[in-house]
Amino acid sequence: MYNSFQNIGIFLKKEHETAANVGIKLSKWLLANGKNIYVEEVIATALNITHFSRQEIAKHCDISIVIGGDGTFLSVARLIRKSNTPIIGINLGSLGFLTEITLEEMFNTLTDIFNGNYIVDERMMLTASLIRDQKKLNEYTVLNDVVINKGALARMINLKTFINEKYLTTYKADGLIVATPTGSTAYSLSAGGPILYPNINSFIITPICPHTLTHRPIVVAGDVNIKVELNSQDSDVIITLDGQIGFPLKNNDIITVEKSTQKTFIVKSKRKDYFEVLRNKLKWGIF
């Protein structure tokens, strides 16, 4: 499926000088190695070549290289999700689980990948739908998580939750997170959720600051349908998707979450495994 990576798309963290400089350096290296590149304006201007919009890059590339952090990676994953184009993540130094390749490793790792020494990691995505007055208003496919959260000054909210139409519980809490295994190291982890191995077919349901302390995170199978009904007269409640898309909710709105038919494909070096990434990112074993 991925025998030859000839057409390379490069996505940068927006308005970030280091990302732009790394992107220019990488682009020169790729051109010197006979690759076709599709880049945004900041790189194209520096190299005096044609620039493309992000949507155009997504259409042309065989593989996408993301230079930035996990936020940039997540936005690209949503952009290219229908094409099955694999992604390589280059980290700029922050806590990135998806952009795991360091700047120091970049050229050696890309050389390995272009020589066929790589693995492709398939990650499940989820689809969330907003239902209001029995009508579906919006549908989104994301890689990390769906979060229902109250505003800073709002009271705790009630979230009546069902699994495959069977009543689970009503969370009285500041909010609720439904995360994929990939999203288990994001907001869910901060809220006390477990870390799941990325290839496990499951969801995590994690309450945020629950009023009932026995309400703990729960892991459910990835083929279930999760339904959350907002029962709150407070108007200051929002839903966020991958931490990047958000809009307000109304009382009695219903959010459904299920496994998407689409996936994200991450190209990784064989030199590094998931547990090494966890140790390094979470500073395990450092005293």
249 and 137, same structural domain? yes
Length of the chain: 287
132 and 253, same structural domain? yes
Give phi and psi for 72, each to the nearest 5. -65, -40
129 and 257, same structural domain? yes
Q: Which of 149, 168, 155 is nearest to 241 (CA)?
A: 149
88 and 139, same structural domain? no
Domain harbouring 109, CATH code: 3.40.50.10330
Output the pLDDT for position 281: 84
Residues lower than pLDDT 70 in the chain? 1-4, 287
251 and 131, same structural domain? yes
What distance in Å separates the CA atoms of residue 176 and residue 228, rounded to the nearest whole number? 9
Whether 2 is covered by a domain: the verdict is: no
Whether 60 is covered by a domain: the verdict is: yes
Output the pLDDT for position 203: 98
Whether 220 is covered by a domain: the verdict is: yes
138 and 17, same structural domain? no
133 and 39, same structural domain? no
136 and 196, same structural domain? yes
Whether 195 is covered by a domain: the verdict is: yes
61 and 16, same structural domain? yes
Is 51:44 a contact under the CB 8 Å cutoff?
yes
Number of H helices, E strands in the chain: 7, 16
Whether 287 is covered by a domain: the verdict is: no
Cβ burial 173-191 (10 Å sphere, 16+ → b, else e): bbbbbbbbbbbbbbbbbeb
Whether 274 is covered by a domain: the verdict is: yes
Give phi and psi for 29, each to the nearest 5. -65, -40
Output the pLDDT for position 151: 81
Q: Name the active-site residue from 62, 70, 174, 253.
A: 70
The residues, any chain, with a CB within 8 Å of residue 147's CB and separated by 6 or more, are 175, 176, 177, 178, 187, 208, 239, 240, 241, 243
141 and 111, same structural domain? no
Domain count, the chain: 2
244 and 161, same structural domain? yes
Look up residue 18 and give its two tokens.
């280091």
Output the pLDDT for position 18: 95
Domain harbouring 207, CATH code: 2.60.200.30
Q: Which domain holds residue 217?
A: 125-262
Is 159:176 a contact under the CB 8 Å cutoff?
yes
pLDDT in tens, 17-41: 999 999 999 999 999 999 999 999 9
Output the pLDDT for position 273: 85
Whether 154 is covered by a domain: the verdict is: yes
Output the pLDDT for position 96: 81
Output the pLDDT for position 184: 97
Output the pLDDT for position 3: 52
92 and 11, same structural domain? yes
Would you call 70 a catalytic residue per the annotation?
A: yes
